[in-house]
Amino acid sequence: MRNTVIVLGIILICAIGVSCNSPRTKDAPVAATGPVTGKFAYVNIDSFEAKYEVLKTKQDEFKKRQADMDDELQRSYGEMQSDANEVQKKAQAGTLTQAEYDVAQKRLMQMQKSLEARRQSLTDELLKAKDDFNKDLKTHLDAFLDNYNKDKHFDFIFTYTSSGGSPLLYANKSLDITKDVVDGMNAAAKDDKSKAK
Protein backbone atom coordinates (compact mmCIF):
# COMPACT_ATOMS: atom_id res chain seq x y z
CA MET A 1 0.00 0.00 0.00
CA ARG A 2 2.68 2.50 1.00
CA ASN A 3 4.64 1.75 -2.19
CA THR A 4 1.57 2.51 -4.31
CA VAL A 5 1.05 5.88 -2.64
CA ILE A 6 4.76 6.77 -2.87
CA VAL A 7 4.76 5.94 -6.58
CA LEU A 8 1.71 8.19 -7.03
CA GLY A 9 3.55 10.96 -5.19
CA ILE A 10 6.59 10.59 -7.44
CA ILE A 11 4.36 10.74 -10.53
CA LEU A 12 2.78 13.95 -9.18
CA ILE A 13 6.19 15.52 -8.63
CA CYS A 14 7.26 14.56 -12.15
CA ALA A 15 4.06 16.09 -13.50
CA ILE A 16 4.73 19.30 -11.58
CA GLY A 17 8.29 19.42 -12.88
CA VAL A 18 7.07 19.04 -16.45
CA SER A 19 4.23 21.56 -16.13
CA CYS A 20 6.43 24.16 -14.46
CA ASN A 21 9.16 24.09 -17.08
CA SER A 22 9.31 26.52 -19.97
CA PRO A 23 8.39 25.41 -23.49
CA ARG A 24 11.28 23.80 -25.29
CA THR A 25 12.27 22.62 -28.66
CA LYS A 26 12.84 18.96 -29.34
CA ASP A 27 16.58 19.06 -28.57
CA ALA A 28 16.70 21.96 -26.10
CA PRO A 29 17.39 21.20 -22.45
CA VAL A 30 14.61 21.79 -19.95
CA ALA A 31 15.05 25.02 -18.00
CA ALA A 32 13.02 25.90 -14.92
CA THR A 33 11.21 29.23 -15.15
CA GLY A 34 11.42 29.95 -11.44
CA PRO A 35 9.84 28.81 -8.23
CA VAL A 36 6.76 26.62 -8.46
CA THR A 37 3.69 28.58 -7.47
CA GLY A 38 0.31 27.34 -6.40
CA LYS A 39 -1.53 26.14 -3.34
CA PHE A 40 -0.06 22.94 -1.90
CA ALA A 41 -0.96 20.40 0.77
CA TYR A 42 0.15 16.92 1.74
CA VAL A 43 -1.12 13.78 3.41
CA ASN A 44 1.21 12.03 5.85
CA ILE A 45 0.94 8.37 4.81
CA ASP A 46 2.22 7.10 8.19
CA SER A 47 -0.62 8.88 10.01
CA PHE A 48 -3.14 7.93 7.34
CA GLU A 49 -2.28 4.23 7.67
CA ALA A 50 -2.37 4.42 11.47
CA LYS A 51 -5.71 6.24 11.72
CA TYR A 52 -7.87 5.33 8.74
CA GLU A 53 -10.15 2.67 10.24
CA VAL A 54 -11.04 0.90 6.99
CA LEU A 55 -7.37 0.43 6.17
CA LYS A 56 -6.49 -0.77 9.68
CA THR A 57 -9.37 -3.27 9.63
CA LYS A 58 -8.39 -4.55 6.20
CA GLN A 59 -4.71 -4.89 7.19
CA ASP A 60 -5.78 -6.95 10.23
CA GLU A 61 -7.98 -9.08 7.96
CA PHE A 62 -5.08 -9.68 5.58
CA LYS A 63 -2.78 -10.64 8.48
CA LYS A 64 -5.38 -13.14 9.72
CA ARG A 65 -5.83 -14.60 6.24
CA GLN A 66 -2.05 -14.96 5.92
CA ALA A 67 -1.83 -16.67 9.34
CA ASP A 68 -4.74 -19.01 8.48
CA MET A 69 -3.10 -19.84 5.16
CA ASP A 70 0.23 -20.56 6.87
CA ASP A 71 -1.48 -22.76 9.48
CA GLU A 72 -3.37 -24.74 6.85
CA LEU A 73 -0.25 -25.33 4.78
CA GLN A 74 1.83 -26.18 7.85
CA ARG A 75 -0.74 -28.81 8.92
CA SER A 76 -0.85 -30.29 5.43
CA TYR A 77 2.94 -30.39 5.12
CA GLY A 78 3.11 -31.98 8.58
CA GLU A 79 0.65 -34.70 7.54
CA MET A 80 2.62 -35.34 4.36
CA GLN A 81 5.88 -35.54 6.33
CA SER A 82 4.31 -37.93 8.83
CA ASP A 83 3.08 -40.12 5.97
CA ALA A 84 6.54 -40.04 4.36
CA ASN A 85 8.16 -41.02 7.68
CA GLU A 86 5.74 -43.92 8.05
CA VAL A 87 6.53 -45.17 4.53
CA GLN A 88 10.26 -44.85 5.27
CA LYS A 89 9.94 -46.85 8.52
CA LYS A 90 8.01 -49.63 6.78
CA ALA A 91 10.54 -49.69 3.94
CA GLN A 92 13.45 -49.95 6.39
CA ALA A 93 11.65 -52.69 8.34
CA GLY A 94 11.09 -54.61 5.12
CA THR A 95 7.29 -54.69 5.53
CA LEU A 96 6.63 -53.02 2.15
CA THR A 97 6.93 -54.67 -1.22
CA GLN A 98 8.60 -52.73 -4.01
CA ALA A 99 5.21 -52.22 -5.66
CA GLU A 100 3.72 -50.85 -2.40
CA TYR A 101 6.75 -48.59 -1.98
CA ASP A 102 6.39 -47.28 -5.55
CA VAL A 103 2.68 -46.58 -5.01
CA ALA A 104 3.47 -44.77 -1.73
CA GLN A 105 6.17 -42.66 -3.44
CA LYS A 106 3.76 -41.68 -6.22
CA ARG A 107 1.11 -40.78 -3.64
CA LEU A 108 3.60 -38.62 -1.70
CA MET A 109 4.76 -36.87 -4.87
CA GLN A 110 1.13 -36.17 -5.79
CA MET A 111 0.49 -34.83 -2.29
CA GLN A 112 3.47 -32.50 -2.64
CA LYS A 113 2.27 -31.24 -6.02
CA SER A 114 -1.22 -30.67 -4.61
CA LEU A 115 0.19 -28.78 -1.64
CA GLU A 116 2.32 -26.57 -3.87
CA ALA A 117 -0.70 -25.87 -6.08
CA ARG A 118 -2.77 -25.04 -2.98
CA ARG A 119 -0.04 -22.75 -1.64
CA GLN A 120 0.15 -20.93 -4.97
CA SER A 121 -3.63 -20.65 -5.20
CA LEU A 122 -3.94 -19.23 -1.66
CA THR A 123 -1.08 -16.79 -2.29
CA ASP A 124 -2.63 -15.63 -5.57
CA GLU A 125 -6.03 -15.15 -3.88
CA LEU A 126 -4.49 -13.07 -1.10
CA LEU A 127 -2.45 -10.94 -3.52
CA LYS A 128 -5.55 -10.34 -5.67
CA ALA A 129 -7.58 -9.36 -2.61
CA LYS A 130 -4.85 -6.88 -1.57
CA ASP A 131 -4.62 -5.48 -5.10
CA ASP A 132 -8.42 -5.11 -5.33
CA PHE A 133 -8.48 -3.36 -1.96
CA ASN A 134 -5.68 -0.98 -2.99
CA LYS A 135 -7.57 -0.08 -6.17
CA ASP A 136 -10.76 0.48 -4.19
CA LEU A 137 -8.87 2.57 -1.61
CA LYS A 138 -7.38 4.72 -4.39
CA THR A 139 -10.84 5.24 -5.90
CA HIS A 140 -12.27 6.29 -2.50
CA LEU A 141 -9.30 8.54 -1.75
CA ASP A 142 -9.51 10.22 -5.16
CA ALA A 143 -13.26 10.81 -4.75
CA PHE A 144 -12.77 12.16 -1.23
CA LEU A 145 -9.98 14.52 -2.29
CA ASP A 146 -12.00 15.77 -5.27
CA ASN A 147 -14.87 16.63 -2.93
CA TYR A 148 -12.59 17.95 -0.16
CA ASN A 149 -10.75 20.20 -2.57
CA LYS A 150 -13.90 21.89 -3.92
CA ASP A 151 -13.63 24.59 -1.25
CA LYS A 152 -9.92 24.27 -0.42
CA HIS A 153 -8.69 24.91 -3.95
CA PHE A 154 -5.32 23.17 -3.66
CA ASP A 155 -3.36 22.95 -6.87
CA PHE A 156 -1.40 19.91 -5.65
CA ILE A 157 -1.80 17.41 -2.82
CA PHE A 158 1.29 15.31 -2.17
CA THR A 159 2.06 12.25 -0.10
CA TYR A 160 4.64 12.39 2.65
CA THR A 161 6.18 9.82 4.95
CA SER A 162 8.58 10.55 7.76
CA SER A 163 10.01 7.05 7.57
CA GLY A 164 11.90 7.74 4.33
CA GLY A 165 11.18 7.03 0.70
CA SER A 166 8.97 10.10 0.37
CA PRO A 167 9.31 12.20 -2.78
CA LEU A 168 9.22 15.29 -0.53
CA LEU A 169 12.40 16.17 1.30
CA TYR A 170 10.71 18.73 3.52
CA ALA A 171 7.09 19.34 4.46
CA ASN A 172 5.79 22.43 6.23
CA LYS A 173 3.44 21.15 8.95
CA SER A 174 0.93 23.92 8.23
CA LEU A 175 0.24 22.24 4.88
CA ASP A 176 -0.61 18.88 6.48
CA ILE A 177 -4.23 17.95 5.70
CA THR A 178 -3.90 14.37 6.95
CA LYS A 179 -6.31 14.83 9.87
CA ASP A 180 -8.98 16.29 7.58
CA VAL A 181 -8.53 13.40 5.14
CA VAL A 182 -8.54 10.67 7.80
CA ASP A 183 -11.53 12.17 9.67
CA GLY A 184 -13.45 12.70 6.45
CA MET A 185 -12.74 9.25 5.05
CA ASN A 186 -13.57 7.57 8.39
CA ALA A 187 -16.89 9.47 8.44
CA ALA A 188 -17.60 8.51 4.83
CA ALA A 189 -16.84 4.87 5.59
CA LYS A 190 -19.30 4.95 8.54
CA ASP A 191 -21.94 6.51 6.27
CA ASP A 192 -21.36 3.82 3.64
CA LYS A 193 -21.62 1.13 6.33
CA SER A 194 -24.87 2.50 7.75
CA LYS A 195 -26.36 2.85 4.23
CA ALA A 196 -25.46 -0.77 3.48
CA LYS A 197 -27.48 -2.00 6.50
How many whole angstroms separate alpha carbon 131 and alpha carbon 117? 21
Asked if residue 34 is part of any domain, the answer here is: yes
Question: How many CB atoms are closer than 10 A to CB 105?
Answer: 13
**pLDDT tens, position by position, 123-164:** 999 999 999 999 999 999 999 999 999 999 899 899 988 877
Q: pLDDT for 74-124, tens place per residue?
A: 999 999 999 999 999 999 999 989 999 999 999 999 999 999 999 999 999
Kindly state whether residue 122 falls inside one of the protein's structural domains.
Answer: yes
Percent of the chain with pLDDT over 90: 63
CA dihedral 130, 64, 163, 172 (to 10 degrees): 70
Rounded to an integer, what distance in angstroms lies between the CA atom of residue 186 and that of residue 192? 10
Helix (H) or strand (E) holding 53: helix 53-93
User: Please, which pLDDT band fits residue 68 given cuts at 50, 70 and 90?
Assistant: very high
Terminal Cα distance for the chain, rounded: 28
CATH number at residue 23: 3.30.910.20
User: For residue 180, is pLDDT > 60?
Assistant: yes
Is 197 within the bounds of a domain? no
